[in-house]
A and B are shown apart, each in its own frame.
With several copies, the nearest count.
Chain A
Amino acid sequence: MTSTFAAPTDAASGSFAVDLPQFSGPLDLLLSLIRDEQVDIYDIPIARIAQQFVERIRTLELNEAAEYLEMAARLLRIKAQLLLPVGAQESWEDPRAELVRRLLEYQQMREVVDVLERRGEERRSHFARAFLPAQPAPPQAPLALSLIELLAAVDRVLRAVSRPDMHDVVPRALDVPGAIDTIRAVLALRARTLFTDIIMTGHVPWQVLSMLLGLLELARVGELHVTQLRPFANVEITAAARDNASEAA
């Protein structure tokens, strides 16, 4: 089978895990059916292949079933199209044509995979030098960079961001600086206050969150202390040493 060369150990490495036990996708499964049935890829008996395809995905435990189901649906659609009377129109296009093109393309790619696999195995049978004596941090090579290159990069960036959705500056969802100002103003009036005192009744979630982050930020820089006597109790906010607070104000 086509994907047997993926070592089972690969599964442990996560990202390189083989996604399906036997097939690397619906095209792989389809090709294997065509090979097993020994039919001409340019003249696929769609009814028979479609039926077998559906049977196979029923018996296989496919964890990416969507892609296989999509292919099954496509096969059944082609089958239906072939059942329609061809009629006398001169511009009849074989509904299988696109599928054949994709299968050939996929098969060609598999051929390249075989080449890569062979070359990769060849390279794996040689070791490179592993011991490299520690060197005093190699001096960096001089940088080759002209202004014109930099400006060309600016130009590329400007072109890349000229999409309309990149033009708008997204407003910050939170206003932490504003919250910090409010907290400082409250603490300037009284040295001790409660969290519920700085949250106004009409505050919406982003404002409450801004307040909370402002509070944590000020606590982090030592402008205030935050205490909570027991879980879910109100939070007490105490201004830190006076010199700190006045400097902040």
Chain B
Amino acid sequence: MTTLAKLLEAALFASARPITGEELATLAPDESAAAIAAAIDELREHYDVDGHGVELQELAGGWQILTRAEYTEAIERAQLAARPQRLSAAALETLAIIAYRQPISRAEIEEIRGVAIGGVLKSLHERGLIDVVGRGEGLGRPLMYGTTPVFLEHFALRHLEELPRADELAIALRVPVPEAAPE
């Protein structure tokens, strides 16, 4: 590839939006419009002839490098099959506090954990593991959080009372259960 084609490739790759012909000109002010047009052609042909996973497309706004359509499905499928997400320690602890103390407000959880938990609450909520179950009494009537049926389902629990009591925890923790709950 010519240096100009390489420069255009780098710019098209790094830009968050399509690049117009004018912008391409500022990118290489010493080059003629014809040279730039030739480099664009060179880049497009290189992608097409050589066989690449991407292609150069001219859209309304200008030029853009896009993933070839035949690979988008595989990429989406891979994102779907991405290895199962694990909850962070912070999220787990927050979930544990909510499970055992519900209904509980954000401020109360933060007091127990000693750190702000805004993002964690949001992700647990998006996961469907917790929900707002009401408003507390008192100043500002804070939102109160509790666990959801999805939470019970996930751990194969029939109801919350099936969670071990705090004083049973030591024993529960010693049992090497690989996956969810025993009967």
Q: Would A176 and B66 count as touching, CB distance under 8 A?
A: no
Q: Contacts A151-B169, A158-B169, A213-B139 known; A26 to B86 CB distance under 8 Å?
A: no
Distance in angstroms from B23 CB to nearest chain A CB is 11
* Listed residue (B16, B68, B112) with the most chain A CB atoms within 10 angstroms of its CB: B112
Q: Would A6 and B89 count as touching, CB distance under 8 A?
A: yes
Q: Contacts A112-B99, A119-B157 known; A144 to B113 CB distance under 8 Å?
A: no
Contacts of A138 in B (CB 8 A): 76, 79-80
Distance in angstroms from A13 CB to nearest chain B CB is 6
Contacts of A71 in B (CB 8 A): 114
Distance A176 CA – B135 CA, assembled complex (angstroms): 14
List which A94-139 residues lie within 8 A (CB) of chain B. 97-98, 100-102, 104-113, 115-117, 119-120, 122-133, 135, 138-139
Contacts of A98 in B (CB 8 A): 180-181
Is A150 on the interface with B (CB-CB < 8 A)? yes
Interface of A, helix, strand, loop or mixed by DSSP: helix
List which A24-48 residues lie within 8 A (CB) of chain B. 24-28
Q: How many residues of B contact A (CB 8 A)?
A: 76
In the complex, the chain A residue whose C-beta lies closest to that of B173 is A108
Q: Would B171 and A108 count as touching, CB distance under 8 A?
A: yes
Contacts of A18 in B (CB 8 A): 88-90
Q: How many residues of A contact B (CB 8 A)?
A: 86
In the complex, the chain B residue whose C-beta lies closest to that of A10 is B88
Q: Contacts A24-B115, A119-B155, A161-B112 known; A151 to B164 CB distance under 8 Å?
A: yes
Q: Contacts A104-B171, A112-B99 known; A129 to B16 CB distance under 8 Å?
A: yes
Distance A147 CA – B93 CA, assembled complex (angstroms): 12
A-B contact pairs, 13 of them (CB 8 A): A3-B89, A7-B86, A9-B85, A15-B120, A18-B90, A26-B114, A67-B114, A104-B171, A105-B112, A107-B171, A145-B87, A158-B169, A161-B112
Known: A27-B113, A141-B82, A144-B85. 17 other contacts (CB 8 A): A19-B90, A25-B114, A108-B173, A112-B100, A126-B72, A126-B156, A129-B14, A131-B64, A131-B65, A146-B155, A147-B181, A148-B177, A149-B87, A149-B92, A153-B92, A157-B97, A160-B135
Residues of A with Cβ closer than 8 Å to B? 2-3, 5-7, 9-10, 13, 15-19, 24-28, 64, 67, 71, 93, 97-98, 100-102, 104-113, 115-117, 119-120, 122-133, 135, 138-158, 160-161, 163, 166, 172, 174, 176-177, 213, 217
